[in-house]
Amino acid sequence: MYDKKVAIVIKDDLLPWQKLNVVSFLAGSIAIEFPETHGEKFITADQEEFLAFIKHPTLIYKADNTEKLQRAFRRSRDRELSIGVYT
């Protein structure tokens, strides 16, 4: 269905607001690094403009522990995917 996807992996032991913060920072870094990931501004019938969206599905995964987070990192490296980190 989609030829490209965005995947974000976060540690499950974060507080809910921290999880949202991490996801928003990482999604923002993807949009900055890869301008082709977002479309044009959204314009309503009344010509009101809104920000563009990331046009690829964004999948959010949780890592129950550091080992799982490191595994996701290694697999991404092995596949030569672009990796963003938030610490």
Are 28 and 80 in contact by the 8 Å Cβ rule? The answer is: no
- Looking at the domain assignment, is residue 61 inside a domain? yes
What are the beta bridge partners of residue 60? 8
The total number of structural domains in the chain stands at 1
3-state secondary structure of 25: helix
Confidence (pLDDT) at 2:
78
Q: Is residue 22 part of a domain?
A: yes
pLDDT tens digits, 3-25? 889 999 999 999 999 999 999 99
Mind listing the pLDDT tens digit for each residue in 21-71?
999 999 999 989 998 888 889 999 999 999 988 889 999 999 999 999 999
Is 74 a member of any domain?
yes
Question: Which structural domain, as residue segments, surrounds residue 13?
Answer: 6-78
> Does residue 86 fall inside a structural domain?
no
Radius of gyration, CA atoms only, the chain:
15
Paired strand residues for 11:
63
**Residue 36 located in a structural domain:** yes
Whole-model pTM? Answer: 0.81
Q: Is residue 85 part of a domain?
A: no
> Is residue 24 domain-resident?
yes
